[in-house]
Amino acid sequence: MGKTAYMRLKGSHHLRQRLVLATLSANPIVVEEIRADDSSPGLRTHEASLLRLLEKVSDDCTVEINETGTKLRYKPGVLIGGKHLVHDCGLSRSIGYFLEPLILLGLFGKKPLSIRLKGITNDSKDPSVDTFRTTTLHMLKHFGVPLEGLELKIESRGAPPLGGGEVVLGVPIVPNTLSAAHWIDEGMIKSIRGVTFSTRVSPQIGNRMIYAARGVFNRFIPDVHIFTDHRSGPSGGRSPGYGISLVAETTSGCLISADTTVSYPKADEMEEFEDSDEKPELMPPEDVGVQVASMLLGEIEQGGVVDSTHQGLLFLLCALCPPDVSKVRVGKLTPYGIETLRNIRDFLGVKFVIKPDPTTNTVILKCVGSGMKNLSRKIS
């Protein structure tokens, strides 16, 4: 009956994580000064879309935004999940932006989540859906989530700027809690897999990328298999683009990924190119192949059981475990990872013990989980 105490936050950075953590810890938040000094102040379309998505998967959550969109008041509800949900992610960010929070929220829902997301599937900014399917989903098994029911189906692909892709995400609920992970053995890279995609371009582009990427890996490992996924017609979305997502698998079951996408820039970014009449030249596929291969090698060089993209998710999962010790090894801490650690401390009260490991230039993190339970699940 008393007043709800809101947690006050500033700025739009890491809004995604803050919303997810607020929902999981049932902690109402107020975010102020969202791009207050910007030329276009307030929430971006993708952020608004994310809020709408949260309303979709939860029950009775309230979102209040002021007129300029610079202030957001979010009071989380109970996570429900459910089947046959549809969400249009818009075109300002790709689906990968929405998948990361969804997977966490889905785990702690009342019912298993099955949602169809529409928008851009591959993007250079966010992890692509291929990476998500091959790497992110497999991360969860280290935390005791069964892989049954955990799936991502790519129905059609859509490259920026016009998108037109569709994926179906299925996330099971955890019956009670996750289980703490002791995950420090990175192992040795035993194979490299990957998938290229190309929409509305020549099917040969995929092969050219693969050829270039293999050329880089030849010095290291022979076991490289990269598949092509060429989409045409309606399943190819509305704009041309191509890209590649690579996964390195280690002997201890760690997956290290890198991906990239090449496409024409989005409408808002196009303005920068307005002086030139014709569309800007896309990066040739050979260069893309080499680039992504060296990105993957860069990730491998850094070490750790996950790549830099998945650090945040890894930390979040560790913090959501029962109060046992989780121990993980990552490469260099990314800014995103660091900010995740801070957010975890603020919302869940979990602090990590961070120890560098100078021999391998990696970092070992330990934490005692917050003991998060799936409270919304019905007991009968």
Task: State which of positions 340-359 bind another protein (CB under 8 A).
Answer: 341-342, 345, 348-349, 351-359
Residue nearer to another protein on the CB measure, 18 or 230: 18
Q: Does 142 bind another protein (CB under 8 A)?
A: no
Q: Show contacts with another protein in window 161-220 (CB under 8 A).
A: 180, 182, 184-185, 188-190, 216, 219-220
Q: Are strands 82-88 and 113-119 parallel, antiparallel or unpaired?
A: parallel
Q: Does 8 bind another protein (CB under 8 A)?
A: no
The 10 Å Cβ neighbour count of residue 15 is 22
Contact between 179 and 319 under an 8 Å Cβ cutoff? The reply is: no
Task: Indicate the angle between helix axes 95-107 and 45-57, nearest 10 degrees.
Answer: 30
Q: Does 309 bind another protein (CB under 8 A)?
A: yes
Cα gap 143→314, rounded to integer Å: 10
Q: Does 26 bind another protein (CB under 8 A)?
A: yes
Q: Does 280 bind another protein (CB under 8 A)?
A: no
CB of 203 to another protein, least distance (A): 27
Give the residue among 326, 323, 325, 320 at the shortest CA–CA distance from 340.
320
CB of 360 to another protein, least distance (A): 6
Q: Does 119 bind another protein (CB under 8 A)?
A: no
Give the residue among 262, 264, 250 at the shortest CA–CA distance from 291.
262
In the list 83, 125, 225, 279, the residue contacting another protein (rule: CB under 8 A) is 125
Q: Show contacts with another protein in window 248-277 (CB under 8 A).
A: 251
Q: Does 245 bind another protein (CB under 8 A)?
A: no
Residue nearer to another protein on the CB measure, 20 or 201: 20
Token digits for 322?
Answer: 């029962």
Residue nearer to another protein on the CB measure, 7 or 235: 7
Q: Does 135 bind another protein (CB under 8 A)?
A: no
Q: Which DSSP category does 92 fall into?
A: S
Sign of CA dihedral 117, 122, 125, 131: positive
Query: Residues in contact with another protein, total (CB under 8 A)?
Result: 103
Token digits for 378?
Answer: 């019905």
The 10 Å Cβ neighbour count of residue 271 is 10
Region from 14-22, 196-204, 239-247, 263-271 binding another protein, contact rule CB under 8 A: 14-22
Cα gap 70→16, rounded to integer Å: 16
Q: Does 368 bind another protein (CB under 8 A)?
A: yes
Which residues, in sequence order, are CB contacts of 317 under 8 Å at separation 6+? Answer: 104, 139, 140, 143, 178, 181
Q: Does 55 bind another protein (CB under 8 A)?
A: no
Q: Show contacts with another protein in window 93-112 (CB under 8 A).
A: 97, 100, 110
Region from 159-167, 199-207, 273-281, 333-341 binding another protein, contact rule CB under 8 A: 333-341
Contact between 246 and 192 under an 8 Å Cβ cutoff? The reply is: yes
Q: Does 3 bind another protein (CB under 8 A)?
A: no
Q: Does 328 bind another protein (CB under 8 A)?
A: no
CB of 272 to another protein, least distance (A): 14
Cα gap 192→214, rounded to integer Å: 10
E runs forming strands in 251-295: 255-263
In the list 313, 317, 318, 330, the residue contacting another protein (rule: CB under 8 A) is 313
In the list 126, 201, 255, 328, the residue contacting another protein (rule: CB under 8 A) is 126
CB of 191 to another protein, least distance (A): 8
Binning the chain into helix, strand and coil, the percentages to the nearest 5 are 30, 30, 40
